[in-house]
A and B are shown apart, each in its own frame.
Chain A
Amino acid sequence: MNKNGQINRRDFLKIGTFATGGLLVAFTVPDKIPFAKPTATSEAALNAFLRIGTDNSIHITLSKVEMGQGIWTTLPMLIAEELDCDWSQLHVAHSPPGKAGDFLEPPVYKSTGGSETTIREFDRYRMAGAIARTMLVAAAAKRFGVRSEDCRTENSYVIAGNQRISYGDVATEAAKLPVPKVTLRDPKDWKYIGKSRKRLDAPEKINGKARYGFDSQFPGLLTALVSHPPIFGATVKTLDATQAKAIKGVRNVVQIPTGVAVLADHFWAAKQGRDALKIEWNLGENANLDTNMLTDTYRQLAKTEGLTIQKKGNVTSALAKSERSIDAEYSFPYLAHAPMEPLNCTVKIGKDSCEVWAGTQSPLLHQAEVAAFLGLKPEQVQFHTPCIGGSFGRRGSFSSDWVMEAVHIAKASGKFIKLVWTREDDIKGGYYRPIYVHNAQIGIGADGFPTAWQHRIVGQSLFVNTPLADVIAPKGIDYSSVTTGAPYSKSIPDYSFELHTTSVGVPVLPWRSVGSTHTVFVVETLIDELAFLAKTDPVVYRRAFFKNSPRHLAALNLAAEKSAWSKPLPKGQFRGIAVCEAMGSYVAQAVELSVENQAIRVHRVVCAIDCGLAVNPDGVRAQMESGIVFGLTAALYGEITIQNGVVQQSNFHDYPMLRMNDTPIIDVHIVPSTGKMGGAGEPGTAPIAPALANAIFAATGKRFRQLPIPAFW
């Protein structure tokens, strides 16, 4: 796209046909990740396409992956909006493996994440649909002997007067025409965009037919389980695999950099084999790691000045002069992503080739990594992306950790293998949302509003030493650590926002809604506290800050209205609210709960989101519900602790999830908006924990400055 927002057609698409006929519109979906080792071919590669078969079928190959967030349906809606195709004839697939740069076999696509798929692809997918339609019409017009302007399109047919012809019948001819100039449809004519549409992937997800990576089955395939070190960074000192190898079905035991792999005919034998391994470990430098001690260290650090993120006035002297103040310290634990489908990866290494099956957010990154390790060209690594059973950031691993683990096993054993992680491997395996500590000092003016605010954050960086470091963490400041942490700073005269970045031997990764998981909690509970001290309703109090932020205000007001904020709740019920911007969307949530004998019962959550245009409104609602349950789970239960270097949790019994009986009624409302499009996958997670904590305060008078909310107090 150029500076004026116009798409340069030559930059982004190619037209072609197949030996069997049909029309192919292939388009590039560039990615902002500046890869450390880009290949000439992969950068110019075409990685999404629309194909119209001679049988009138419509095939859409996605540039991004479906992990539950709904783009399997939303992206085709964008094409269908311009193409006038028969929705029932749509076939959707993840980008297939192929030789990079090969026109007819697009290579793997790049990362999916940041809640930005629909935002980034909104124009490109519509363009692809519009160009295909224009070419099909031109081909049909020629056949009819009329002008293109005299044709209309409907349900995969071109129609002129009494003549009609299917897209499939003219697809091959259309492919020979020059690429036309097109104008995208006026929003008032939209038939798909803005109207709820059922998910295209739902039917195969309710009958067991959907094939996830975990379901990979091939003749001769062995299942591999890895005994991982009990402590991050520990290595094998001695290994005795005698008993493991004696187990029926166990075929091989190999040592790899991340532990010891047991290869067997099936999971059960591999599991028994792994249990029978005798390993002594060199514990390494993380043997004394303790999350309580680590958090204490962070607390001390938070009392010292950090790197400046934002600064104005003189906050130190302003705080000293304040008559009333808040001095608050917050802490947040490590969190596992725990997608329902545990990590897995199937690898077949051949002569000068490698085939990989893995549900992942970043196939291209892994492809490059696998190729470099095996001494292959990226195009010699075929990457298949099956259905993905959730990710929430875990499958966005920048180090390709589990994929490389599988490749190491395949290489060391010479076998065709499927690596699977058990739930225990997943919970204990690291790549967590980091621990963060915040320290905030606020001076309060006579009018009840903050006059000075010093806010310090301590935590590990998610993005240093990753391919995104230059974009998100330039000069050692990781902006994901502080994102959405200063929405109220404009009206505060003396303000300082600082960051300490730590280095700890626990691998970390972005976790749904990333920095907003902690920054929004701190800011929104502090604002609630300020409102309380000012004896002002928290909605009214916030409105004063959002005079120049209409989208915050719209979300806040809609949530207040739909939750009947000003009307009393039934006896024994209390409410709290929070609002934030995250991933370009504005979300407010009001929580209604009761607390009996320190047991919290959330009855209802009312959510309002301004995401600009909601392409598939029911999809946006589903993502808000999903984000709320995800955020509530973390707020009530989520905590990974480490003692003597060992992760203390292992499975859902000690790393619990919200369940049906805990789940409140969730009402989602979408703000009618012409604002810039924002994301949907992650923003719903951000405000739920502070809204919950604010409601708990209303119910009990207790301010919790840590997550999860303690089970007893």
Chain B
Amino acid sequence: MPLYQLSINGKKYRVNADAQMPLLWVIRELVGLTGTKYGCGIAQCGACTVHLKGAPVRSCSFPVSAVLNQPITTIEGISNDNSHPVQKAWIDEQVPQCGYCQSGQIMSAVALLRDNPHPSDADINAAMQGNICRCGTYPRIRKAIKRAAATLPKTNGQ
């Protein structure tokens, strides 16, 4: 089984894994970071969203062999203390209910705001429609994204 060197949240990991093993299971079960969730296994629900070199990917359908040297960020790498503007907005708007999908929702929202600090409703739809929330927190997610956007400088994300 091949050996892979991964950079997750700035930390280096070495894992032996089947080349086709989805990144999701590498992160959860070989590395042990369980904030990234399984919801469907076919890139339909977005619960497994992580960032690969800053871009959102559905890790349940992304083989570990395709990661190459690209750094991975998971929900655990967003902040140490819930201080990211998106996390703060999530609290202010009281988004989570069961909470299971929220790691993925937040990863999609963070990626959206990095590329587009002041998204329109259509931009939010386009960036977030890959993430399912069975508790139906979408209206609050929309508000939270706008709230987070309002705290960002006019020109730059993050």
Looking at chain B's contact residues, is the secondary structure mostly helix, strand, loop, or mixed? loop
**C-beta contact mask, A550-571 vs B, less than 8 Å → 1, else 0?**
0000000000000000000000
Report the interface size for chain A: residues with CB under 8 A from the other chain: 62
The CA of A659 and the CA of B134, in the complex, are separated in Å by: 9
Interface segment among A149-157, A195-203, A315-323, A488-496: the answer is A195-203
- B142 is an interface residue with CB less than 8 A from chain A: yes
Interface segment among A119-127, A182-190, A285-293, A339-347: the answer is A339-347
Residue of A68, A199, A212, A629 with highest tally of chain B CB at under 10 A: A68
**B30 — which chain A residues lie within 8 A by C-beta?**
266
The CA of A203 and the CA of B133, in the complex, are separated in Å by: 18
Q: Is the CB of B38 within 8 A of A214?
A: yes
**B140 — which chain A residues lie within 8 A by C-beta?**
622, 625
Q: Chain B residue with minimal CB distance to A211?
A: B34
Residue of B90, B106, B135 with highest tally of chain A CB at under 10 A: B135
* Shortest distance between the CB of A386 and any CB in chain B (Å): 11
**C-beta contact mask, A245-287 vs B, less than 8 Å → 1, else 0?**
0001000000000000000001110001000000000000000
In chain B, positions 50-76 with a C-beta closer than 8 Å to chain A are 74-76
For B98, give its contact among A248, A342, A388, A663 (CB under 8 Å): A388
The CA of A387 and the CA of B102, in the complex, are separated in Å by: 13
Q: Is the CB of A660 within 8 A of B38?
A: no
The CA of A651 and the CA of B47, in the complex, are separated in Å by: 14
The CA of A420 and the CA of B32, in the complex, are separated in Å by: 17
The CA of A659 and the CA of B130, in the complex, are separated in Å by: 8
Report the interface size for chain B: residues with CB under 8 A from the other chain: 60
Q: Is the CB of A268 within 8 A of B21?
A: yes
Q: Is the CB of B136 within 8 A of A626?
A: yes
- A210 is an interface residue with CB less than 8 A from chain B: yes
A206-B82 contact in complex given A651-B40, A659-B132, A660-B138, C-beta closer than 8 Å: yes
For B99, give its contact among A210, A618, A629, A665 (CB under 8 Å): A210
Q: Is the CB of B103 within 8 A of A663?
A: no
Q: Is the CB of B103 within 8 A of A208?
A: yes
The CA of A627 and the CA of B94, in the complex, are separated in Å by: 16
**A659 — which chain B residues lie within 8 A by C-beta?**
128-132, 138
In chain B, positions 90-120 with a C-beta closer than 8 Å to chain A are 90-91, 94-103, 106
The CA of A390 and the CA of B82, in the complex, are separated in Å by: 23
Q: Is the CB of A390 within 8 A of B98?
A: yes
A69-B97 contact in complex given A660-B128, A665-B139, C-beta closer than 8 Å: yes
- A657 is an interface residue with CB less than 8 A from chain B: yes
**B47 — which chain A residues lie within 8 A by C-beta?**
340
Q: Chain B residue with minimal CB distance to A626?
A: B136
- A129 is an interface residue with CB less than 8 A from chain B: no
- A373 is an interface residue with CB less than 8 A from chain B: no
Q: Is the CB of B39 within 8 A of A390?
A: no
- A389 is an interface residue with CB less than 8 A from chain B: yes
**A422 — which chain B residues lie within 8 A by C-beta?**
41
Q: Is the CB of B125 within 8 A of A661?
A: yes
A206-B87 contact in complex given A389-B98, A626-B137, C-beta closer than 8 Å: yes
Q: Is the CB of B99 within 8 A of A423?
A: no
Q: Chain A residue with minimal CB distance to B90?
A: A206
- A658 is an interface residue with CB less than 8 A from chain B: yes
For B134, give its contact among A208, A267, A339, A666 (CB under 8 Å): A339
Q: Chain A residue with minimal CB distance to B144?
A: A206
* Shortest distance between the CB of B130 and any CB in chain A (Å): 8
Q: Is the CB of B79 within 8 A of A208?
A: no
Q: Is the CB of A390 within 8 A of B134?
A: yes
**B29 — which chain A residues lie within 8 A by C-beta?**
217, 223, 266-268
In chain A, positions 115-161 with a C-beta closer than 8 Å to chain B are none
Q: Chain A residue with minimal CB distance to B142?
A: A660
A268-B137 contact in complex given A208-B33, A340-B132, A659-B129, C-beta closer than 8 Å: no
In chain A, positions 624-647 with a C-beta closer than 8 Å to chain B are 625-630, 633
- A18 is an interface residue with CB less than 8 A from chain B: no
**A653 — which chain B residues lie within 8 A by C-beta?**
42, 44
The CA of A423 and the CA of B100, in the complex, are separated in Å by: 14
**C-beta contact mask, A206-227 vs B, less than 8 Å → 1, else 0?**
1111111011010000010000
- A392 is an interface residue with CB less than 8 A from chain B: yes
The CA of A124 and the CA of B150, in the complex, are separated in Å by: 43
- A35 is an interface residue with CB less than 8 A from chain B: no
- B157 is an interface residue with CB less than 8 A from chain A: no
- A70 is an interface residue with CB less than 8 A from chain B: yes
- B37 is an interface residue with CB less than 8 A from chain A: yes
The CA of A186 and the CA of B90, in the complex, are separated in Å by: 34
Q: Is the CB of B96 within 8 A of A423?
A: no
**A301 — which chain B residues lie within 8 A by C-beta?**
none
A626-B135 contact in complex given A214-B37, A341-B37, C-beta closer than 8 Å: yes
Residue of B18, B82, B133 with highest tally of chain A CB at under 10 A: B133
**C-beta contact mask, A313-351 vs B, less than 8 Å → 1, else 0?**
000000000000000000000000011111000000000
- A176 is an interface residue with CB less than 8 A from chain B: no
Q: Is the CB of A208 within 8 A of B74?
A: yes
Q: Which 7 pairs across A and B sit closest by C-beta, in order of nearness?
A: A208-B35, A629-B136, A389-B100, A205-B99, A68-B98, A68-B97, A208-B75
